[in-house]
Amino acid sequence: MSRPTTAMVLAAGLGNRMRPLTDVVPKPMVRLGDRPLIDHVLDRLASAGISRAVVNVHYLADVLEHHLAGRTTPPRITISDERDKLLDTGGGLVRALPLLGSEPFLIHNSDSVWLEGPHANLEALIETWDAERMDSLLLLASSARTLGYDGAGDFNMDVDGRLKRRAEGMVTPFVFTGVSIAHPRLFDNATGDIFSLNRLWDRAIDKGRLYGIRLDGFWMHVGTPQALAAAEECLKYGEPRPA
């Protein structure tokens, strides 16, 4: 089975929760440690053998494009332009499909970073991927080992890795990290230009074809200035000890 070598990096959002830092740069260009968030993502993708990344742009697109054009290390970058209209995750991916090709590909949010455990998580995701059984495979973090997340969880996962939605009023142990693998058939007959990827996941759940694996490490959703400062501390000193 061939492994994915292409990724979609979702980088077109407005970054409203990251203001005032995003008044002058798009959120993927906010610096975490010694480099912008998007470079953390692209460098990790390259280390997993991803040779090409499609990056969508909308807000302050020229700033992000200029930075990406100056990168001299893998992966090779292709731009999916959403300057005319912000399309949300599902719509953005549908627009980018002609650039992504006919094989399965990774999807990676630009504000998702983590402290790696003993095993590389992108490699584990790729090794677990099974196009015969799955339309999409999601990387899930334990909600007890996260930064920048305070919800009730997203999914329940059975022993085979098959996912179901958290029931209303319930708490589940797994939260989506913003990283997944998708087969292009996930988008078959997708309609509407602005829509969330959640719509297609629900369809995959109904077919029993949405799966997940657990992240080995400490996940950080860097969505606000406060989360950014806390993530900086984690990069310096490691996972915070439980109170």
Q: Where are the domains of the chain?
A: 6-236
Q: 165 near 205, Cβ under 8 Å?
A: yes
pLDDT at 243: 59
CB burial readout 97-111, b (16+ within 10 A) else e: bebbeeebbbbbbbb
Q: What is the CA radius of gyration of the chain?
A: 17
User: Which residue numbers in the chain have pLDDT < 70?
Assistant: 1, 169, 242-243
Average pLDDT of the chain is: 94
CATH homologous superfamily for the domain 6-236: Spore Coat Polysaccharide Biosynthesis Protein SpsA; Chain A (3.90.550.10)
pLDDT in tens, 187-222: 999 987 999 999 999 999 999 999 999 999 999 999
Query: To which residue do tokens 């860097």 refer?
Result: 222
pTM greater than 0.85: yes
